[in-house]
Amino acid sequence: MQEPLELLFEAGQWVSVPFGPKNVRAYSIASPPSSRERITLCADVAPGGIGSAWFASLRAGDVVEFKAPFGGFVFRRDDPRRPLFVAEEIGIVPIRSMLSDLFETGFERPVTLVYWGRDPSWLPYHDDLVALAGRRADFAYHPVVESGGDDWRGGRGAAADAVEALAPDGGHVVAYVSGGGAMIDRVREVLVARGLDRKSVRWEKFW
C-alpha cells in the first residue's frame, strides 16, 4: 500500500475500485479492521464482467487504486441482542470481517452463522469457518447447500428454511444478512414472522 499507509475502516465496509470515469465496482473487505496496513478482498470472477476480468489479470506487485471506506453494513456493538448472521455465497465476505473482528476483540455473546451456497464449491472460507467453530463453543456454524455429494456433512435446502429452524420466536436476535436480493427478502419474511421488526434485519445486497 502506498497512500495511505494505513486504512481505518469498520468490519463490513467496502472499497470502491474505478475502471474509468463512469465505471466503478464495490468490493467488501474480507480482513478485520485490525489489519490496517494490508487488506484482503474476495471477488467472484465467474460473472466475467469488467471487475472480474481485472481481478483475474492482477499479478503480485501491481498497483491498485481505490477509494475507501464506504458502507453502513457494520455491526452495532451497543445492541444487546444475540447476532444471527446469514450469508449467501460471496456474501460471506463482509460477515467474515465482522466475525474476525468480534472474536479478536473479546465479544462475549453467542454468535450463529447460516451460510448457504448452491453446492459446497460456492462456499469460500467454509473450511476456515468449520475450524473456527471447532475452536469456539460460542460460535454455531450452519452451512447449507442446495445440492452436495455423499461426503457433504452440512445441511441441505434453502437458507430461509435453515433460519426458520434456528431463529427463536420474539425479538431476542438481530440479523445481519448478506447476499442476493431474493434470499434477503425471504430470510427477512421468516424473521419478521418470528417476531422481529424489519429494522432488526440489516442487510447488504450483492446482486
Q: Mean of the per-residue pLDDT values for the chain?
A: 94
Q: Are strands 201-205 and 67-70 parallel, antiparallel or unpaired?
A: unpaired
Q: Which residues contact 36 (CB under 8 A, 6 or more apart)?
A: 6, 7, 8
- Whether 137 shows a pLDDT value over 90: the answer reads yes
Q: How far apart are CA 194 and CA 188, in angstroms?
A: 10
Q: How far apart are CA 66 and CA 78, in angstroms?
A: 31
C-alpha 37, offset from chain centre: 21
Every domain of the chain and the residues it spans: 14-70, 82-205
Q: How far apart are CA 109 and CA 205, in angstroms?
A: 26
206 phi, psi to nearest 5 deg: -95, -30
Element (H, E) at 138: none
pLDDT of residue 44: 87
pLDDT of residue 2: 60
pLDDT of residue 10: 98
| HSE value, Cβ hemisphere, 13 Å, CA-based, for 179 | 26
Over residues 143-158, the mean pLDDT reads: 94
Element (H, E) at 38: none
pLDDT of residue 3: 66
Q: b/e string for 95-123 if b means 16 or more Cβ within 10 A?
A: bbbbbbbbbeeebeeebbbbbbbeebebb
- Whether 99 shows a pLDDT value over 90: the answer reads yes
**Which segments of the chain does DSSP mark as H helices, in order?**
50-57, 92-104, 126-135, 159-166, 181-193
Q: Name the percent of the chain lying above pLDDT 70.
A: 99
- Under 8 Å between Cβ of 199 and 79: no
In the CATH scheme, what is the code of domain 82-205? 3.40.50.80
Q: b/e string for 156-191 if b means 16 or more Cβ within 10 A?
A: eebbbbbbbeebeeeeebbbbbbbbeebbebbbebb
48 pLDDT tier (thresholds 50, 70, 90) = confident
pTM, two decimals, is 0.94
Distances (CA, A) of 185 to 12, 32, 164, 180: 20, 27, 13, 9
Over residues 49-70, the mean pLDDT reads: 91
Over residues 188-203, the mean pLDDT reads: 95
Query: What pLDDT digit, counting tens, does each position of 167-179 carry?
Result: 887 778 999 999 9
